[in-house]
Amino acid sequence: MRKLNILLATALLSSALSAQDIYATFSVEAEKKSSLVLSSTGIVESVYVDVGDRVKKGQVLLSLDNDELESSVKLAQSQVKLAELNLKYAKKSYERFTQVKSVIDEGQYDQYSSAYERAQLELENAKVNLVLIKEKLSKTILRAPYNGQITGKMIEVGDGVSSAKMGTLFTMMNPTRQKLIVEVDEKYWKDVKLGQAFVYSVDGIDEKLSAKITKIYPTINAKKRSIKAEVAVDSLRVGLFGHGMIKVK
């Protein structure tokens, strides 16, 4: 009986130890952050934002010197209008000769039929050309991909941009939502689970905060011998550090 009690006590002690809260450190990162580039080559003509500016999705941040492309767009638009006009007259001629097809020379009818088909193709080609030039023009303008805040600016008016290098022009983030990047000793890799509560402290806030683990990284950091997890939060400053305890059930 005494032996059984010892075994039960040992099992209870082992269970209590395995259920201990796990100490972890963390850093605060933006839930969404981006390095913005252009896939076009040219000289920066205008920069419209600076570090710290709040931007809306689609807002123009920067534009290259694109006068030549703007002229090409106008020319392509004129070519579309001309092609539309040519098609209009080619169609009228084709329809007119279709009505008298039985009393005219077949070769003459084929000429108007071919002219109508060519006019259709010319209009399609003109439209495709206009789309391609507009796409080239759009690539000389950098727009914000989402509502956020500019966190870095690596470009100035007059600087060159290369599509081959694809260098970062701005960095930005969504400041309204953050995530804690939580680090835990690798020995707890079996104990950390999704949905567990993480109770943590941040400098400047007196009370303890709590949120749940939303993601666990599948690999172990070979240098730090640690595992990482994420906790979704808001109203914190990106770059803060802190520590807390993962509540193990």
What CATH number should be reported for the domain holding residue 119?
1.10.287
71/16 Cα distance (integer angstroms): 76
Nearest C-alpha neighbor of 115 from the set 149, 140, 146, 92: 92
- Does residue 240 fall inside a structural domain? yes
Q: Which tens digit of pLDDT belongs to each residue from 72-89?
A: 999 999 999 999 999 998
Q: Which domain holds residue 155?
A: 35-65+140-173
161/49 Cα distance (integer angstroms): 17
C-alpha 192: how far from its chain's center?
Answer: 30
201/106 Cα distance (integer angstroms): 90
Q: CB count, 10 Å around CB of 153?
A: 19
Q: Which tens digit of pLDDT belongs to each residue from 121-150?
A: 999 999 999 999 999 999 999 999 999 999
- Does residue 5 fall inside a structural domain? no
158/45 Cα distance (integer angstroms): 6
Q: Which tens digit of pLDDT belongs to each residue from 203-244?
A: 888 889 999 999 999 999 889 999 999 999 988 889 899 999
Cβ–Cβ < 8 Å for 28, 236: yes
- Does residue 197 fall inside a structural domain? yes
| pTM assigned to the model | 0.71
User: Which letter does DSSP use for residue 235 in this model?
Assistant: S
Least confident span in 11-15, 125-129, 163-167, 228-232:
11-15
Are both 103 and 211 inside the same structural domain?
Answer: no
Are both 87 and 206 inside the same structural domain?
Answer: no
Are both 127 and 162 inside the same structural domain?
Answer: no
